[in-house]
Amino acid sequence: MQTSVEHLLIQIWDASAGFQDLEISQGRPDIDAPETQAGRKTGRNESVFSLPGKRFFTHGTDVAKLYFRYSAMNAGKSTAMLQVAHNYEEQGQSVRLFTAAIDNRYGGGVVTSRLGPQREAEIFDTHYDFLQEAPRVNCVLVDEAQFLTAAQVKQLHQLAQVRGTPVICYGLRSDFVGEPFPGSAYLLALADDIEELKNICTCGKKATMNIRLDEHGKRVTAGEQVAIGGNERYRHVCGRCFYGA
């Protein structure tokens, strides 16, 4: 019998090496697909595949996830997002980049790394519907994801789980008084893969919190949750400095 095999290209996240492309072969339900180097057929519409020290199991083609990469400010979230976009496109894959309409530090609709690189992106506001507006692409990347609404996080979760499109969100976890942003709270609840991007406090410990400063450089402990600003208005600190600053 002639064998027909579908090839799937998925990405495995490894904390030490970043995203690694892994191609597996998946036979159709009524066809006996042979064993391949990367993966083998189980006899149903399923595949088993592995990397050193890891074993993965897929059903059908539903291997996409909703990822949340969070950190304190200035940890390189936008830089990481631009790198992922470049990696996809270098392999001929299509991506769509989004950033929050409310974040106008570098002009509307621009993802900017503090290291210099920047790139135009589509903007989302509280009324944007990712399920209606986002066509099929290989990956959706969202910067400033803390400004997503609860409904939008659910839409992105569906985009990954139902439509099979990987979604990677980058954002802050908490605000200047330690309260979670609504978008981040729902991402922490729904994301299939969560990772903290590291940064360093001035005392040398890992920075996990953010504090807001006034025009004189003094700490602000009350006010609206959202106030757009950069290094002149915010500082990333560790937990000890957050409670003692």
- Strands (E) across the chain are located at 5-14, 18-27, 39-41, 46-51, 54-59, 66-71, 95-100, 110-112, 118-120, 122-124, 139-142, 167-172, 193-196, 209-213, 219-220, 234-237
% of the chain surpassing 70 pLDDT: 65
Please tell me whether residues 126 and 72 are part of one structural domain.
yes
Please tell me whether residues 84 and 163 are part of one structural domain.
yes
CB 34 within 8 A of CB 28: no
133 belongs to the catalytic site: no
Residue with tokens 């976009």: 85
Which of 35, 133, 144, 195 is catalytic? The answer is: 144
- For residue 236, give its domain range: 209-244
Question: Which CATH number characterizes residue 166's domain?
Answer: 3.40.50.300
Last residue of a domain, one of 59, 74, 98: 59
Domain for residue 172, yes or no? yes
How far is it, in rounded angstroms, from Cα 37 to Cα 18? 22
Residue 127 pLDDT level (bands cut at 50, 70, 90) = very high
Domain for residue 17, yes or no? yes
Domain for residue 201, yes or no? no
* Residue of 209 and 108 predicted with greater confidence: 209
Please tell me whether residues 99 and 186 are part of one structural domain.
yes
What pLDDT does residue 51 have?
A: 46
What pLDDT does residue 229 have?
A: 54
1-6: long-range contacts, CB 8 A cutoff, minimum separation 24: 1/31, 1/32, 3/27, 3/31, 3/32, 3/33, 3/34, 4/28, 4/31, 4/33, 5/33, 5/34, 5/36, 6/61
How far is it, in rounded angstroms, from Cα 176 to Cα 226? 9
What pLDDT does residue 221 have?
A: 76
Comparing 104-113, 147-156, 203-212, which segment has the lowest mean pLDDT? 104-113
Q: Per DSSP, what are the bridge partners of residue 221?
A: none
| pTM (two decimals) | 0.70
Please tell me whether residues 114 and 180 are part of one structural domain.
yes
Domain for residue 161, yes or no? yes
Please tell me whether residues 218 and 177 are part of one structural domain.
no
Residue 160 pLDDT level (bands cut at 50, 70, 90) = very high
How far is it, in rounded angstroms, from Cα 109 to Cα 14? 30
Mean pLDDT over 144-150 rounds to 95
Please tell me whether residues 123 and 221 are part of one structural domain.
no
Please tell me whether residues 84 and 190 are part of one structural domain.
yes
Please tell me whether residues 71 and 191 are part of one structural domain.
yes
What pLDDT does residue 115 have?
A: 67
Domain for residue 202, yes or no? no
Residue 4 pLDDT level (bands cut at 50, 70, 90) = very low
Residue with tokens 């602000």: 220
Domain for residue 74, yes or no? yes
pLDDT tens track for 168-217: 999 999 988 888 999 999 999 999 999 999 999 999 999 999 988 887 77
Please tell me whether residues 138 and 187 are part of one structural domain.
yes
State the total domains in the chain. Answer: 3
The Cα-based distances of 164 to 61, 129, 135 in angstroms read 7, 17, 12
Assess whether pLDDT exceeds 60 at residue 2: no
* Residue of 25 and 233 predicted with greater confidence: 233
Mapped onto helix, strand or coil, the DSSP state of residue 184 is helix
How far is it, in rounded angstroms, from Cα 46 to Cα 187? 28
Domain for residue 79, yes or no? yes
Domain for residue 204, yes or no? no
What is the average pLDDT score of the chain?
76
